[in-house]
């Protein structure tokens, strides 16, 4: 309900700014509007909203089941006490790109700073401006419930030493601007690979299986193969199919998407411009195809559908 009121206010605000701004709404987007777009492109940060239990928007508490235990999404509303309200720009950038809290704690890689590290500084600050424009909610974070030995600070630090490198997105000069935009959106913002790539026993993404799907996706769901493999991936999906899917969740066989992906589309990708969805589509379709029957997109074509 709160969310509805909030969105209504945003729409009203948007209309008003259209009247007031001499250059018009589209010509001059505010920093908050730009930040909201970044927010949508990341998929809507759904791990931080406990939708199932009607939790407040981005106030945390959502249980995320993984093979390493249960993580609880944190409060990222601008509440000074329990959220990120006290964070400086540098704190925010450090958290998003280095996986380190303002207090110097190392975050578990369930928080995809492993992807966000590639974001531009500008996008990061816009995202922060958007998050800080939202209503603060006082709600203390819930401690994670992890299987020993995974829940140890020293463990996260070691993991990062071994498997994490702070990096910036490197455009490929040989590829088109559209391809590079798609690569940036997919790799740095939408973080597709975090769920659609299988992980090893240490939770490290298997590089050879990049985007090839994982049967142990978050919340125990299958995250299917999104490489253009003909038999088990999206090889037979055209650009129009992918755009339609990211916009509405409808697959080329006209079944709807379920579970987490639907949620991410609803709160995130469906709000993106068509050009950006086309860029993501171009990028995904350019990936090396990987055959992975374990996480086939066709797994739903069985006779147990209804």
Q: Residues in the site for another protein, rule: CB under 8 A?
A: 220-222, 238, 240-241, 244, 248-250, 252-256, 258-259, 262, 299-300, 302-306
Q: Based on CB atoms, which residue is closest to another protein, 291 or 298?
A: 298
Q: Based on CB atoms, which residue is closest to another protein, 207 or 302?
A: 302
Q: Based on CB atoms, which residue is closest to another protein, 35 or 43?
A: 43
Residues 226 and 194: their CA atoms lie apart, in Å, by 12
Closest separation between CB of residue 47 and another protein, Å?
18
Closest separation between CB of residue 155 and another protein, Å?
30
Q: Based on CB atoms, which residue is closest to another protein, 135 or 259?
A: 259
Which tokens hold the place of 245? 């899917």
For 257-287, letters b (16+ CB in 10 Å) and e give beebbebbbbbbbbbbeeebbbbbbbbbbeb
Burial of residue 10, with CB atoms counted within 10 A of its CB: 0-12 exposed, 13-18 middle, 19 or more buried: middle
Closest separation between CB of residue 147 and another protein, Å?
22
Closest separation between CB of residue 221 and another protein, Å?
7
Closest separation between CB of residue 215 and another protein, Å?
9
Q: Based on CB atoms, which residue is closest to another protein, 49 or 296?
A: 296
**Tokens 């981005």 — which residue?**
58
- Residue in 166, 298, 172 with CA at minimum distance from that of residue 224: 298
């Amino acid at each position: 309900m709160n969310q509805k009121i909030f969105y209504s206010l945003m729409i009203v605000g948007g209309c008003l700014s259209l009247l007031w701004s001499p250059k018009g709404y589209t010509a001059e987007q505010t920093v908050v509007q730009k930040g909201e777009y970044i927010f949508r492109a990341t998929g809507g940060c759904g791990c931080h909203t406990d939708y199932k239990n009607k939790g407040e928007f981005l106030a945390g508490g959502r249980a995320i089941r993984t093979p390493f235990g249960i993580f609880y999404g944190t409060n990222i509303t601008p509440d000074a006490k329990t959220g990120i309200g006290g964070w400086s720009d540098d704190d925010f950038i450090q958290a998003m790109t280095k996986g380190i809290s303002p207090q110097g704690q190392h975050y578990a890689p369930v928080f995809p700073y492993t992807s966000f590290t590639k974001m531009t500084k500008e996008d990061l600050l816009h995202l922060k401006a958007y998050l800080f424009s939202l209503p603060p909610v006082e709600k203390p974070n819930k401690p994670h419930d992890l299987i020993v030995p995974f829940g140890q600070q020293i463990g996260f630090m070691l993991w990062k030493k071994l498997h994490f490198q702070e990096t910036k997105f490197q455009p490929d000069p040989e590829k088109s601007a559209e391809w590079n935009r798609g690569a940036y959106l997919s790799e740095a913002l939408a973080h597709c690979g975090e769920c659609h790539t299988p992980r090893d026993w240490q939770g490290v993404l298997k590089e050879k299986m990049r985007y090839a799907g994982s049967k142990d996706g978050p919340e125990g769901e299958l995250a299917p193969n999104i490489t253009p493999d003909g038999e088990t991936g999206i090889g037979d999906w055209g650009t129009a199919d992918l755009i339609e899917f990211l916009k509405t969740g409808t697959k080329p066989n006209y079944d709807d998407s379920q579970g987490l992906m639907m949620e991410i589309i609803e709160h995130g990708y469906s709000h993106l411009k068509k050009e950006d969805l086309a860029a993501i589509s171009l990028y995904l379709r350019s990936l090396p195809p990987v055959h992975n029957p374990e996480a086939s997109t066709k797994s739903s074509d069985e006779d147990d559908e209804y």
